Amino acid sequence: MTGGLVLAATPMGDIGDASQRLRAALATADIVAAEDTRRTRALAKALGVTITGRVVSFYDHVEAARIPMLLEEIAGGNTVLLVTDAGMPSVSDPGYRMVAACVQRDMPVTCLPGPSAVTTALALSALPVERFCFDGFAPRKPGQRREWLRTLATEARACVFFEAPHRLADCLADAVEVLGPDRHAAVCRELTKTYEEVVRGTLAELAAWAIEGVRGEITVVVAGAQPPTADPADLVDMVETRIDAGVRLKDACAEVAAAYGVSRRELYDAVLTARRG
């Protein structure tokens, strides 16, 4: 692409994960906007790539100030390559505002896919992750963290998030308190690196494991909440209340069954049995 923004995923730890497209982009981009210019130069050296374009810093505190200059370069026909220290730009890393600015001006934007801690952790978790949500970093303050965890109490999707190693034990302890000790989860540490480790178990088991202290970059996956279940016989009164309000028996059974995770047929039969009794 000539004259546009290119987002490129970079290795999380294993240099072998760098794609050929990343190599080519580093070698040919007019400008490389890097979260850490030293790490990007070191990456290029390790890959045997010579960066021919200008390298500029692009991290949280300078992002807003850099965007006008980068937009001007793109408008002039130059290609800007945006990379972060590891993984995919704009996913809990700088990049979102630059992408939005380009889209608003109808400037070309493309992405070179590659390593991502989010999808790697999901794949390794051994949890049902057909549907999932990503929440970035867990809140730092205990009160805010517990409030955030409460939003996951009934979340049916698996949730993946990042956590600092020195806060992991407290976060998992709060999760036990809010989500219960039996919810399953996985803690993924140092993904793709030499000391990669994935610890799986219940929240109670993981909280006990983390007390001794954990090092490295952490990604956590928490299983989605299971739908509530109940004995159909205990839900008959709820069905009858809906019927008294004008809802048809079939529809009332369907509503209550969906809310409490029971079979519609079993609930329907339970209502008829109660009426006969």
pLDDT value, residue 160? 98
Average pLDDT over residues 152-176: 96
pLDDT 10s digits, 3-48: 899 999 999 999 999 999 999 999 999 999 999 999 999 999 999 9
From residue 271, how far is each of 47, 131, 181, 234, 275 by CA, in Å? 69, 34, 35, 10, 6
pLDDT at 2 over 80: no
**Mean pLDDT of all residues in the chain?**
94
Task: Provide CB contacts within 8 A for 12, sequence distance 6+.
Answer: 86, 87, 115, 117, 120, 191, 192, 193, 217
Average pLDDT over residues 204-210: 98
pLDDT 10s digits, 105-129: 999 999 999 999 999 999 999 999 9
Q: What percent of the chain clears pLDDT 70, i.e. is strictly above it?
A: 99
Judging by beta carbons within 10 Å of its beta carbon (0-12, 13-18, 19+), is residue 33 exposed, middle or buried? buried
269 vs 277: CA distance, rounded Å: 12
